[in-house]
Chains A and B, each alone.
Chain A
């Protein structure tokens, strides 16, 4: 299995390199000049030219690209064009906030969504099923920023229970959790909707299989049929969807971070975009692509845990 993981990671390198190159070119064709963005429209030509030289923007494109790659190999992501602080340390500072948020979302989504999906599938077409389906359609439809605002209105403004903005102090667990409740709930509820829906359809699919009819006709209790025969076989498709939706969740985490002013990668990215901070932007997008590679790898590895027939070669 170790060789499988190593091979998967090696295969990801060329993909990440292409992503990096595309992003490098893309952010440079974007209109607007970072030096002008920093100094404002009124700045003199000379001042702008000076700053461009300082930022390294006067060098030819291939040189900028080469310098960036060389730095990257040495673990140096370069300096932000705007704040002049190293990109690497800013990303490292933001990453935990995003990871804590998305992991909470995935956990909450699985803990609530899988049982809810089983319940709605087993009670298909009953009242409970309708309510569950409407709940999951609503969760699929609500934009993360709106759900965030609704929760903020209820818990922060009306009840004054939880903080509206910020991410808490890294290292102070209580403070971190305190700031994680509302954003985590926002993402968690959205993820629950996706997982409920997918679990329901996986289970319905398997309920139609011959071996389920056989199990029932043997006179097995319905509970045993569901847990031993249905759920076990439904887990692989559920896990694969959990992986796919974790990627969707990264998109929603950007919006959640913005609503709650959480200092994570998403907030950093939108800020970099507005300030035309090329270096920051290209590094962040590469980090995002890297996260997707890792999520996909974890998803594939988890198949083997729930289904012993899966082998990694």
Chain B
């Protein structure tokens, strides 16, 4: 309890983190309330009102099909947040299991698993995501899988290190002596001890996951139109930069603000994880 209060105090002292938290809550609310707050349908076309500049009836203007840009941006927040959370959850679970098993078992199992992890790490996460996406094909579920798998090696690396040192602790020795099975030791003794570190890492990676999703959608490998995602909206707008710059600029700003909010929270979490760097 005392600990939790100290953590909260440290976090609150970082103004940047507090603003980030507030923004994130706001964006979360927008995503949840999309059906209520979006003024128009995100996919309904209106050929009489193509390229309406922002202002007036359409606050953020309309696109080349006459669709309301603001409604599309609001609905697209769901794609970004879903991919952000679920891909990190997948990458964290999958990666940590590999890292913990490798660290605990040692020997050839560790050697083999970590060799694959190193190979995964030798590609930028985006490039890895891109290749997996090309194999899987497009769609929301595939985006989550591709980004999750691409991030897994990073989590495996983080989980592997601490497992190595915990393995040597006397309480593990004791658990083995009373005949605890490896699965029990992993679940009851090792995972709870490294969970904190992994969760910190996971929060920091949500921002990256959202940015990778935007990148893949921008290339055309994410969710397919007409379902709006910020990345595919920017992509569609690029051809109209001179005539209708808002088509790219506004959804791009939505990506920037969302990723920035999560990174601002990350700034506060780093302070808690490493108090020397505080403030």
Interface residues of A (CB under 8 A from B): 15, 18-19, 22-23, 26-27, 29-31, 124-125, 130, 133-134, 137-138, 140-146, 149-150, 152-153, 157, 201, 204-205, 208, 247-248, 250-252, 254-255, 258-259, 269-270, 273-274, 281, 285, 288-289, 292-293
Counting contact residues on chain B (CB < 8 A from A), the size range is 35 or more
Inter-subunit contact B127/A250 (CB<8 Å): yes
B175 on the interface (CB 8 Å rule)? no
12 A-B contact pairs sorted by A residue (CB < 8 Å):
A27-B131, A137-B263, A138-B260, A143-B214, A145-B234, A149-B241, A251-B126, A255-B215, A270-B130, A274-B220, A285-B123, A285-B127
Q: Give the distance to chain A from B54, nearest Cβ to Cβ, in Å.
A: 15
Interface residues of B in 251-279 (CB under 8 A from A): 252, 255-256, 259-260, 262-264, 267, 276-277, 279
Determine if B218 and A145 form an interchain contact, defined as CB atoms under 8 angstroms apart.
yes
Nearest A residue to B115 by beta-carbon distance? A18
Nearest-Cβ distance from residue B249 to partner chain A, whole angstroms: 7
Smallest beta-carbon distance A157→chain B, Å: 6
Contacts of B16 in A (CB 8 A): 130, 133-134, 137
User: Could you list which residues of chain B lie within 8 angstroms of chain A, going by C-beta atoms?
Assistant: 16, 115, 118-119, 122-127, 130-131, 134-135, 137, 207, 211, 214-215, 218-221, 231, 234, 238, 241-242, 245, 248-249, 252, 255-256, 259-260, 262-264, 267, 276-277, 279
CB-defined contacts of B241 to chain A, threshold 8 Å? 149, 152-153, 157
- Total A-B contacts with CB atoms under 8 angstroms apart: 127
Q: Nearest Cβ distance between residue A59 and chain B, in whole angstroms?
A: 21
Please name all residues of chain A whose beta carbon is closer than 8 Å to the beta carbon of B124 when the two chains form the complex: 247-248, 250-251, 254, 288
Q: Please indicate the chain A residues that have their CB under 8 angstroms from the CB of B262 in the complex.
A: 141
Contacts of A201 in B (CB 8 A): 277
CB-nearest residue of chain B to A276: B134
Is the pair B219, A293 in contact by a Cβ cutoff of 8 Å?
A: no
Distance of A201 from chain B, by nearest CB (Å)? 5
CA distance A272 to B249 in the complex (A): 28
